[in-house]
Amino acid sequence: MKYWHKLLKDWRAKGNNGFTIPFIIGSQQYLPGLREKQDVKQLIYDIFYNEEEVDIYITYCQDLNDLILGIRDETKLRIAGEFIKLPNNSKSNLFLTKIANNLGNNVDGIAKTLEEKYQMAIDKNKFSVNNRVSDDFTDKERNFIIQSFSDINKCRL
């Protein structure tokens, strides 16, 4: 299982919706033995082309005042939006909600927009948003990530 899928799955199992892109990118520092980290562009492409057949949506979270990625399970099927098409015009695994439809209309545009939006925060280790303020992970968040990755044989880039 991909590390981002494991995080989102474990978070969803707790009844929560999703994580910001910086949160997911920053979580990689807790993957034991990781030599090379994904950047924003690689993450978006990985989700877009993922072979795990898990649909991931991008939406706006009012509590965080930011975009989040989440698993589009049966409870999220009524959210308005559309899947971004693969180059062969078939459905990808990346779903943009209507509120996030200004990110681009293809994976290249979306990845570039998100990279421009988040790279500076990631470079400054501002992975988390609490009380609408970006900062490093809280202890509680670190513990969640570490626990989620504890069965490392099931997590990979």
Q: How far is CA 114 from the centre of its chain?
A: 11
Whole-angstrom distance, CA of residue 34 vs CA of residue 73: 29
What confidence tens digit (pLDDT) does each residue in 88-121 have? 888 899 999 999 989 998 999 999 999 999 999 9
Non-local CB neighbours of 43 within 8 Å, separated by 6+ positions: 4, 21, 24, 25
Q: Given this model, what pLDDT does residue 154 score?
A: 52
Q: Where are the domains of the chain?
A: 3-149
CA-CA distance, 65 to 133, in Å (whole number)? 9
Hey, what are 102's tokens?
A: 């200004």
Model confidence pLDDT, tens digit, residues 40-52 = 999 999 999 988 8
* Dist CA 70 CA 9 (whole Å): 8
Residues 6+ apart with CB under 8 A from 18: 8, 11, 12, 57, 59, 61, 68, 69, 70, 71
Give the pLDDT confidence score for residue 87 in this predicted structure. 85
Bigger pLDDT: 4 vs 87? 4
Question: Where residue 73 falls among pLDDT bands split at 50, 70, 90?
Answer: confident
Per-residue pLDDT of 10-59, as tens digits, reads: 999 999 999 999 999 999 999 877 778 999 999 999 999 988 889 999 99
Kindly report the CA angle at 13 between 53 and 150, in degrees rounded to 5? 85
Greater model confidence, 62 or 75: 62
